[in-house]
A and B are shown apart, each in its own frame.
Chain A
């Protein structure tokens, strides 16, 4: 018995020490500042070096620091001047664009001049920065006319100059000139550039980085010299209205959602899975935003080898795929079916008049139609999927045009841990294709290995991939399907080769008139949907949530509420601010 008392004493001593520690702690943590806007992110932003930053979180953080000449209006999605004063002036005589700059200051108080812009472009050209260089190769020369005027000389007219080339972040000559000099003296200059460690990026955005603790948080304060402060641009009076901004890292989405509900963060800057929506919308403080995304999820075929080189087979597969099922079940309705390679939301460029491939048909009708299509083409079965009485039956393996049974093939998808939807799509499509006697298995594989197979080695049959952040300018059509890009590490992963398409693509790149260019882009879409090198599946919508208790005023646009407009207009909610 005496022992039991002693155990008890020991245990209670531990408990008391613990309680003491935590009471100490609670007393100091209760004073936490409510004026700080707290944003949760899903991973550590790995770098603050803008030329290296390729992960989404680094880009998010840096988008608050480095600004562009032109940005998109959240409602009309038109390009509007940001660092620039007005739209660029085009001179067809010498193929030049003239851009005038606003009176902008860097966050250390010095002026942003035309020199900085020239420096930025020259840096990209000198180091061949892979993310940007392809958009600047056709720019012959750039010069600073005066302190606030820049002139770009193009070697030939390019439609993407405005929308794509001018979308680069402008960096300060002061911050980078020494780094550039040092890097250029090295043998591997680009490597030296991206391996330069930036502790405190010098930008001209609404916030200035104060402190970064790896693995825990990034702390910003308001930029006193922000050019937009108090200005009204496109009917929006810009802030920032918050003094302090804190980014916290939550590695698991569930925990971040709990943090959002608890009020530990005000906004979780990442896409939320549909499953969370029910629970979130029940909470009074939480507001769920569903925004469009300029994304494109598709099934791709390897056109380099039989049998997928036959467009009839690809069309039959397209008929079998029930996009409605995918959208309503796998994505829980948080997506739209895609009928073209350009998302529907991109109204100006999207061609609404394209073949629909079995939309609205039932499972059996789809099988019958696909069967008819293939049977007419010359494919055969020992036991066809549709019997003499026009009933759908379980078929034997399909025989190709040469009479041999089709060999096993795979659908490669990203792993479920990376994207559960695409992996699930693969499994479901596999079952649908089996209904027609196509011997297929779906095989999720790690993202790196998948891209290596599809993009570098071209060793695949079919795959499901997607682009989460397509630019609004449909220039990517040319990247994806231009026959010259059909090579190792080129973007034409399907191996699509169509002279007619190439001609249209070249014309669309050179066409400077938007309406004429639209005609060409529409034509390109209809060629693609007829040949189906990629079969478009769905375009997910972006679900995000904020806690409205302390801050309100988020701005919704394509790509979600995490944008520069939001951060310039979020205000402390009434009643909670101490001022």
Chain B
């Protein structure tokens, strides 16, 4: 199968999965108890007023009608209005999604590179102190309890030493000042991103490092390495040009497999660092019974995972010419 038909096949698959998920979620939200109107706890609101509101929001229609309306709107690019924001859901997601993707991709890229780099060192020095220490450190970091770690990191770096901001994505005082230019705004965002990024990387780099290490060890035993050694290629060259590129392939696979895991961690980090991303929005929407927003947020998170998976697969063919689909 060539790359083109692979592309088409996967795209169709993503679309099918997307619609299956949409339907399941729609049903779930429909059958879940509670609605936004019952959350309104103003004692002077009578039951007629509540009923009126429900009919205005279109929640009194039969299930099938509601679903068809939703589908119809979906194809017109309309995912409904949030019950609380009163704005089209698409706009809210469009506002949050870039923030999530920024944090998410940067954290994956940095932790993958850190993992490959450290894994390489550990494998090259197998059995030495640096290897043992590195492996144990990676294991410990990987098993840290994320929300707990995040709060402690905030306390140490944000409060005790005061080096970093306590949360959020930008310094409002800077942004309301019309003189602030884009460079400073950019740095401001990076500055705010440091701690959440640091937290995510600490948790994630460990697994990449361990995979890199063992796959390095595998490759080191292969015949062609022996050949290279026999040819008199320097150790440095062997490590960086013969072993490492081949050994990083499993890391790429594992990125694909661990995407879902990273999304979980990302959502938790967003909550604790007040990062205005989609994961936080989803949890907030769900607890408030804001179904249109919750449904769309979840769908978009799923789409991000699906597409990222897809990219990883393509990346894999690119990195490993032996693979044919």
Q: Are B184 and A248 in contact (CB under 8 A)?
A: no
Cβ of A376 within 8 Å of any chain B Cβ, yes or no, is no
**Chain A nearest Cβ from B293, distance in angstroms:** 10
Task: Choose among A32, A130, A134, A476 the residue that contacts B174 (Cβ–Cβ < 8 A).
Answer: A32
Interface residues of A in 6-39 (CB under 8 A from B): 7, 21-22, 24-25, 28-29, 32-33, 36, 38
Cβ of A505 within 8 Å of any chain B Cβ, yes or no, is no
Interface residues of B in 45-70 (CB under 8 A from A): 45-47, 49-53, 56-58
Residues from chain A with a CB closer than 8 A to the CB of B19 are: none
Residues from chain A with a CB closer than 8 A to the CB of B44 are: 131, 134-135, 164, 475-476, 479
A560 to B263, CA, bound (A): 39
Q: Are B173 and A216 in contact (CB under 8 A)?
A: no
Q: Are B276 and A214 in contact (CB under 8 A)?
A: yes
Residues from chain B with a CB closer than 8 A to the CB of A480 are: 43
Question: Assuming A255-B167, A447-B287, A448-B35, is B172 touching A490 (CB within 8 A)?
Answer: no
Residues from chain B with a CB closer than 8 A to the CB of A450 are: 34
Q: Are A217 and B172 in contact (CB under 8 A)?
A: yes
Interface residues of A in 192-219 (CB under 8 A from B): 194-197, 210-211, 213-217, 219
Q: State the 10 A-B residue pairs at the shortest beta-carbon distance, nearest first.
A: A215-B276, A448-B34, A217-B172, A130-B49, A452-B34, A452-B33, A448-B289, A451-B38, A449-B33, A490-B47
Residues from chain B with a CB closer than 8 A to the CB of A246 are: 172-173, 176
B87 closest partner in A (C-beta): A197
- The interface bits of chain B over 205-239 (1 if a CB of A lies within 8 angstroms of the residue's CB, else 0) are 00000000000000000000000000000001000
- The interface bits of chain A over 239-282 (1 if a CB of B lies within 8 angstroms of the residue's CB, else 0) are 00000101011111011001101101000000000000000000
A206 to B180, CA, bound (A): 27
A131 to B45, CA, bound (A): 6
Residues from chain B with a CB closer than 8 A to the CB of A28 are: 174, 180, 184
Q: Are A250 and B167 in contact (CB under 8 A)?
A: yes
Cβ of B254 within 8 Å of any chain A Cβ, yes or no, is no
Q: Are A134 and B46 in contact (CB under 8 A)?
A: yes
Residues from chain B with a CB closer than 8 A to the CB of A258 are: 154-155, 158-159, 166
13 CB contacts below 8 A, A to B, read A3-B236, A32-B174, A46-B82, A46-B84, A135-B44, A210-B176, A251-B167, A258-B155, A456-B35, A457-B33, A467-B41, A487-B47, A489-B37
Residues from chain A with a CB closer than 8 A to the CB of B85 are: 46-47
Question: Assuming A47-B84, A131-B40, A134-B44, is B173 touching A262 (CB within 8 A)?
Answer: no
Task: Choose among B32, B43, B52 the residue that contacts A128 (Cβ–Cβ < 8 A).
Answer: B52
Residues from chain A with a CB closer than 8 A to the CB of B166 are: 250, 255, 258-259, 262, 264
**Chain B nearest Cβ from A261, distance in angstroms:** 7
Cβ of A335 within 8 Å of any chain B Cβ, yes or no, is no
A456 to B53, CA, bound (A): 14
A47 to B162, CA, bound (A): 33
Cβ of B288 within 8 Å of any chain A Cβ, yes or no, is yes
Cβ of A43 within 8 Å of any chain B Cβ, yes or no, is yes
Residues from chain B with a CB closer than 8 A to the CB of A489 are: 37-38, 47, 50-51
Q: Are B84 and A216 in contact (CB under 8 A)?
A: no
Q: Are A254 and B56 in contact (CB under 8 A)?
A: no
Cβ of B170 within 8 Å of any chain A Cβ, yes or no, is yes
**Chain A nearest Cβ from B84, distance in angstroms:** 4
Q: Are B42 and A3 in contact (CB under 8 A)?
A: no
Task: Choose among A38, A252, A451 the residue that contacts B274 (Cβ–Cβ < 8 A).
Answer: A252
Cβ of B188 within 8 Å of any chain A Cβ, yes or no, is yes
Binds B, one of A48-56, A316-324, A388-396, A545-553: A48-56
Q: Are A250 and B176 in contact (CB under 8 A)?
A: no
A489 to B55, CA, bound (A): 14
Residues from chain A with a CB closer than 8 A to the CB of B43 are: 467, 470-471, 476, 479-480, 491
- The interface bits of chain A over 463-482 (1 if a CB of B lies within 8 angstroms of the residue's CB, else 0) are 00001001100011001100
Residues from chain A with a CB closer than 8 A to the CB of B158 are: 255, 258
Q: Are A490 and B124 in contact (CB under 8 A)?
A: no
* A-side interface residues, number (CB < 8 Å): 82
Cβ of A293 within 8 Å of any chain B Cβ, yes or no, is no
A249 closest partner in B (C-beta): B274
Cβ of A2 within 8 Å of any chain B Cβ, yes or no, is yes
**Chain A nearest Cβ from B311, distance in angstroms:** 26
Residues from chain A with a CB closer than 8 A to the CB of B46 are: 134, 485, 490-491
Cβ of B106 within 8 Å of any chain A Cβ, yes or no, is no
Residues from chain A with a CB closer than 8 A to the CB of B176 are: 210-211, 217, 219, 244, 246
Residues from chain A with a CB closer than 8 A to the CB of B45 are: 130-131, 134, 491
Q: Are B87 and A448 in contact (CB under 8 A)?
A: no
Residues from chain A with a CB closer than 8 A to the CB of B99 are: 215
Cβ of B133 within 8 Å of any chain A Cβ, yes or no, is no
Residues from chain A with a CB closer than 8 A to the CB of B271 are: 251-252
B190 closest partner in A (C-beta): A21
Q: Are A36 and B173 in contact (CB under 8 A)?
A: yes
Q: Are A195 and B81 in contact (CB under 8 A)?
A: yes
Cβ of B191 within 8 Å of any chain A Cβ, yes or no, is yes
Question: Assuming A216-B168, A251-B274, A490-B47, is B236 touching A2 (CB within 8 A)?
Answer: yes
Interface residues of A in 205-238 (CB under 8 A from B): 210-211, 213-217, 219
Residues from chain B with a CB closer than 8 A to the CB of A254 are: 151, 154
Q: Are B169 and A215 in contact (CB under 8 A)?
A: yes
Cβ of B39 within 8 Å of any chain A Cβ, yes or no, is yes
A82 to B34, CA, bound (A): 39
Interface residues of B in 172-197 (CB under 8 A from A): 172-177, 180, 184, 187-188, 190-191
Task: Choose among B47, B49, B162 the residue that contacts A488 (Cβ–Cβ < 8 A).
Answer: B47
Question: Assuming A128-B52, A489-B37, is B175 touching A24 (CB within 8 A)?
Answer: no
Q: Are B121 and A449 in contact (CB under 8 A)?
A: no
Residues from chain A with a CB closer than 8 A to the CB of B87 are: 47, 195, 197
Cβ of A362 within 8 Å of any chain B Cβ, yes or no, is no
Cβ of B74 within 8 Å of any chain A Cβ, yes or no, is no
Cβ of B73 within 8 Å of any chain A Cβ, yes or no, is no
Q: Are B167 and A24 in contact (CB under 8 A)?
A: no
**Chain A nearest Cβ from B70, distance in angstroms:** 15
Q: Are B168 and A248 in contact (CB under 8 A)?
A: yes
A49 to B84, CA, bound (A): 10
